[in-house]
Chains A and B, each alone.
Chain A
Amino acid sequence: MKEKKISIVIFPGSNCDRDLFVALEKCLGTKPEFIWHNCSHVKSTDMILIPGGFSFGDYLRAGTIATKSPAIKEVIRFSKRGVPIIGICNGFQILTECGLLEGALIKNSNQLFKCEKVNLKVINNKTIFTKNYKSSEIISLPIAHSQGNYFIESDNLKKIEDNDQIIFKYSSDFGDVTEKYNPNGSVNNIAGISNKKKNVIGLMPHPERAIENFHNGIDGIKFFKNLKDLI
């Protein structure tokens, strides 16, 4: 069987691309390929990841300028074919800005750059990305962002809730989803969502920064191992 291909898109200003490469190689045993942002034709891929960082210096709005790069047209093309797409941190911002995911990520309500470990409650464990999690499982991952405040209009919030598109929420160790455990002001503590078809996911926390014993936790390993069936 032909080995499947994982792709990581890099923009000027991405800075988690290598961490993501190491995490995927360690957890899935597959070397991903890098796609430079101005690549206008990707021959084939079985999964695309968009890493964290500050693409194009976060100019205009975080993620906006990246959405005009040729590689994003390819990401959209593959997403329509059902190829799994994952955006982490700035990758999540890019996916909302290009319209593959609903809502927007605005400045943290507390005006702080938040760099800390948070607990996440798995809200939907039926997606291709989360099916190995237990229902309401609590995982712990680091965040590092100043624009992770997820916003969506109330009508659309209801739609994504009804369609089970909310994947992760910020919570306590015991799964309490309350304002106290919301690090950035996100609507309803939302930390990660999917598109309607559930083949595109975006999350603010960084699983690739929680895979080594010297990291602050290793819950990222399970996040990536969940992707094993997809490649």
Chain B
Amino acid sequence: MIFRVYVNFKDGILDPEAEAIKQTIANMGLNSVKNLVKGKFFDIEVEDKKNYLSEIEKISKDLLANPIIENFKIVKK
């Protein structure tokens, strides 16, 4: 069983990398992009034990994302 954890910056947190990517798109002569958000994801394969969901939540909250600046979302693949 695989879960995908998405992590991205909360609204209002400046992401200079996303800004640079957005600027590059403009430099490529493409003009339809209004906004661009960058994030990352982690695919975590778990064994079928009863505590896997609470463990994935703990991994997301305590390691993969910093709740001060980032959101996370867990999706079953």
Which residues of chain A come closer than 8 Å to B69, judged between CB atoms?
104, 106, 151
Interface residue count for A (Cβ, 8 Å)?
Answer: 18
Number of A-B contacts (CB under 8 A): 33
Is A207 part of the binding interface, using a Cβ–Cβ cutoff of 8 Å? no
Q: Pick the residue among B16, B63, B66, B68 that contacts A107 (CB under 8 A).
A: B16
Which candidate, A16-24, A60-68, A193-201, A219-227, is the interface stretch facing chain B? Answer: A60-68
Cβ of B46 to closest chain A Cβ, rounded Å: 19
Q: Pick the residue among A60, A149, A152, A185 that contacts B64 (CB under 8 A).
A: A60
> Which of the listed residues A108, A151, A153 has the most CB atoms from chain B within 10 Å of its own CB?
A151
Docked-complex contact B64 and A107, CB < 8 angstroms? no
Is A103 part of the binding interface, using a Cβ–Cβ cutoff of 8 Å? yes
**A interface, over-half SS:** loop
Is A44 part of the binding interface, using a Cβ–Cβ cutoff of 8 Å? no
Which residues of chain B come closer than 8 Å to A152, judged between CB atoms?
68
Q: Pick the residue among A103, A108, A111, A149 that contacts B68 (CB under 8 A).
A: A103
Q: How far is the CA of A57 from the CA of B14 in the complex (A)?
A: 22
B59-70 near A? 1/0 per residue, CB < 8 Å? 000011010110
Is B15 part of the binding interface, using a Cβ–Cβ cutoff of 8 Å? yes
Is B48 part of the binding interface, using a Cβ–Cβ cutoff of 8 Å? no
Residues of A within 8 A of B (CB): 60-61, 64, 68, 97, 103-104, 106-111, 149, 151-153, 185
Residues of B within 8 A of A (CB): 13-17, 19-20, 63-64, 66, 68-69
